[in-house]
Structure 1
């Protein structure tokens, strides 16, 4: 429970129930791994990040807004995948495998983003704004670093491998490649959103949670599009 605030814990129970009901233990453990690794990397260099004022609030504990901002896309994909299993037919023209990979990719995307942000803030030697490549302080919205970018690949790959190979959830090695690529591209797009929209005045609704939902949706959509083309050929 130290990973979550009390209300965050309550919401995570609801989330876990939904995922276990729709995707079973294998789908559920994919989300558990995301939460564990995300919390672990958040703690890396936490004291230094806190001293610079760029650490996650509440000591890195996640609240309900974090739970749903990160996992809502995954829940929607899981529900769609479950519908295909229940009916035996494609849902919105897409099979179980496509929706299931969308689920894995959405969480791989969020973990890639978390790894990029936390490792970049802790160990990034030079941080650039993605739109101009001008040096900016660590923690700036839309900032990227070599260390953070490499870490994002590790984060996305870790979750994709677990979801697609370790528990054999969907698509094997091909799914790993697709989900990892989708997570990386979506993470770069998230940085662009941060640099161009999130910092603009008048867009107060563009919160981190909204950006997280957009980010995970983009990752899922890319992966689903790629695997749909793969299956169709």
Structure 2
């Protein structure tokens, strides 16, 4: 198990408010080796985000790393975050042959509880806190961008092995605008969809506990 997680934070140079926010999130968290990555500008913000993810995997990641963390600059840690939980679920996900491990999602299609703090998910939205495992590097580099698709859609189309930490250790901070997803500009929308996903997963947990 890696002692530090190489962490790549995607940030548009003009978004100094987001830069200040995200650096504050990782301050005093020595388990992360943080590197800011200048986001690739594109008239389609979602495509620019995907191109930046590919750039990170292709050009910046040491290929011997078992896994890395890619963060968007609106990521924020929840009260559920603890270093021990993160490393434990990384290990659990690795044992399951995970391609990616998510810190929190704003939407998902299907989910199955694997362990107390680990779910398998199918389709999902939100890549603000994305652990990518070594075995998935090549598949991501080979993935072609699909018109109208976002980074999360491309990822879930390429993988069957997607896992999610629950309770969420990451959500997205609302800045009142989004450079990648226009509908996220609506005030309160991002918070609402994360809360809705959290409620659905909590119901799944309660049902499982009842039948156990």
Above 0.5 in TM-score?
no
Shorter-chain TM-score: what band? under 0.3
State the TM-score, normalizing by the size of structure 1: 0.26
State the TM-score, normalizing by the size of structure 2: 0.28
Compare the two structures and name the one with the higher helix fraction.
Answer: 1
Instruction: Please tell me whether Structure 1 or Structure 2 has the larger radius of gyration of its CA atoms.
Output: 1
Compare the two structures and name the one with the higher strand fraction.
Answer: 2
